[in-house]
Amino acid sequence: MPDTPMTKKHGENIVKLLIGGMICMLLVVGYVFIQGYQGRQTLVESQRSGCERGKLDRIDNAAFQKAHKTYIDKVVLAQSVKEDVKQAAREAVETYNKTAASLASRSKINCHKAFPEARLIP
């Protein structure tokens, strides 16, 4: 290779190549950044929808527990039912009261507080 300095045209081409490469890298980094944000946002939305479904399930389950407790209360108050059945029913009522209260308290969660919006920077 001769010892000639780089020509102006070669220098311009190298500068264009470097600037083009830098622009390409910035576009790739921007794309990755945007995809990361969209992924976090999708995760938040799916967590919230699961939270809302869970709340509805707990509310329905608590309603079931309360309805069954009402039935057991009627068994306990009936005159023709023997005492051992009434005692078992009282124990069941106690269990249903605890679980219904627990389910009702857990259904009061605020899903938007539990799963806040995705931030722009993780």
pLDDT at 15: 95
**Dihedrals phi, psi of 44, to nearest 5 degrees:** -60, -45
Task: Answer whether 0.75 is exceeded by the pTM.
Answer: no
Q: What is the pLDDT along the chain (122 residues), one digit of tens a residue?
A: 567 688 889 989 999 999 999 999 999 999 999 999 999 999 999 999 998 888 888 888 888 888 888 888 887 777 777 777 777 788 888 888 888 888 777 778 788 888 888 887 76
Q: Are 45 and 112 in contact (CB under 8 A)?
A: no
pLDDT at 68: 82
